[in-house]
Amino acid sequence: MRVQVVYNFYLDYRLPRLDTGKPLWLTLNVNVDDPTKRYDAFVRTRGDEDELFYAEIGASLASGVLPLQPVDRPEEALVYRVRDRVVDRLLVALEWDADTAPVDDPSCAELWRARAVDMASGVLKHLRVVARSPRVQIIQRRWHPSTQKFTISHPHTEEWFNKDDGERLPIFDGNNSALAFGLLSPESGVARWDDLQASIGASPEPALHLSLLVDAEEALASVRLREAVLSAASACEVSAKHYGATQTKISKTQFERLTAPRQGAKFADRYYEDLPYAVAGQSLRTVDVHVFDEVAALYYERNAIMHGGQLSDGLRGKPDREVHLIVESWLSSARRAAEWIEALPR
């Protein structure tokens, strides 16, 4: 059977138009050399005569109203209306051959949704550059550690069909379609007053390792895993080197000798075992071997990215959700390791 999924991504800006006066219509054949992964993609911009909201499901999305109410200040509630914010639309249709129809399969839906986002964003990047239009922004997937789920930054709909006969494929608890308002939140965290005073009083800029950890969290949330790994690993390196440079127990020569690269000694061995043991008689490996091992794994992945420009084969071969959980765990351990070494006697 031929499976077809139609995605419509709704935009809060107007896409550049072609000089031909016609809508953009692209047909792309993906993984043509591998029959097990082959699929066709069709990308179409909205024509000026086309409806803004596509089909019945688009009309349902347009009528959506979402109240946004901060937990601590309910009087500041906002009302988000999809119709008020959308001015254009990008359609992506994906088609592939399957032996059986996908039914009630969230993992399958997530996989193809990610491919649709990648396809849409790839076209938008080119359109942005060729039209010299910085207003064009890509569509992003976001990862939410609290729910361990992905969301998409823009309002969107999707519909699943058997293209051979037009039958609707019930992939969502008996339904063939789904819609979402996009990523919205009125919450922006809570800052402790004492910590804010200490941070401002210590330096004109926030502590570098803490900034890097926040950068890593944002990269993880926006599904930029290379950047998340690089920022988290850099935070570990910065905090350890800062500790070595500010401690008063061993000489600079001893510090450099302990942390110099040597056969069989990994980054974590040198900076989170040898250095703190020489200065304070403590080792992260002894205090928390799990965190120590994760820092070692994080830095190994950092080196793989620096040398190869992409995630290691070990991570790239795993499902998206599993990779995000691994990197999320590394980030948590990086923060704990940095906090631990910063608190050691100097």
Q: 145: pLDDT confidence band, cut at 50, 70 and 90?
A: confident
Question: Whole-prediction pTM value?
Answer: 0.81
Per-residue pLDDT at 203: 87
Side chain identity, residue 267: F
Q: Is 51 helix (H, G, I), strand (E, B) or coil?
A: coil
Where along the chain do its domains lie? 2-180, 193-342
Burial of residue 6 (number of CB atoms within 10 Å: 0-12, 13-18, 19+)? buried
- In Å, how far are 6, 26, 103, 130 from 133, measured between CA atoms? 26, 20, 41, 8
Average pLDDT over residues 202-212: 92
Q: Which range (42-46, 70-74, 162-166, 225-229) has the least confidence?
A: 70-74
Per-residue pLDDT at 185: 55
Q: What angle do CA 334, 339, 340 make, to 5 degrees?
A: 95
Q: Where are the beta strands (DSSP E) in 98-155?
A: 141-144, 149-152
User: What are the pLDDT digits (tens) for 214-237?
Assistant: 999 999 988 999 999 999 999 999
Per-residue pLDDT at 37: 84
Average pLDDT over residues 288-309: 97
Q: 69: pLDDT confidence band, cut at 50, 70 and 90?
A: low
Other beta carbons within 10 angstroms of residue 31's beta carbon come to 11
- Quote the CA–CA distance of 241 and 222 in Å, as a whole number: 29
- Quote the CA–CA distance of 6 and 20 in Å, as a whole number: 25
Identify whether the C-beta of residue 272 lies closer than 8 Å to the C-beta of residue 283: yes
* Mean pLDDT across the chain: 92
**H or E stretch covering 28:** strand 25-30
Other beta carbons within 10 angstroms of residue 166's beta carbon come to 8
In DSSP terms, 88 is beta-bridged to 11
Q: 144: pLDDT confidence band, cut at 50, 70 and 90?
A: confident
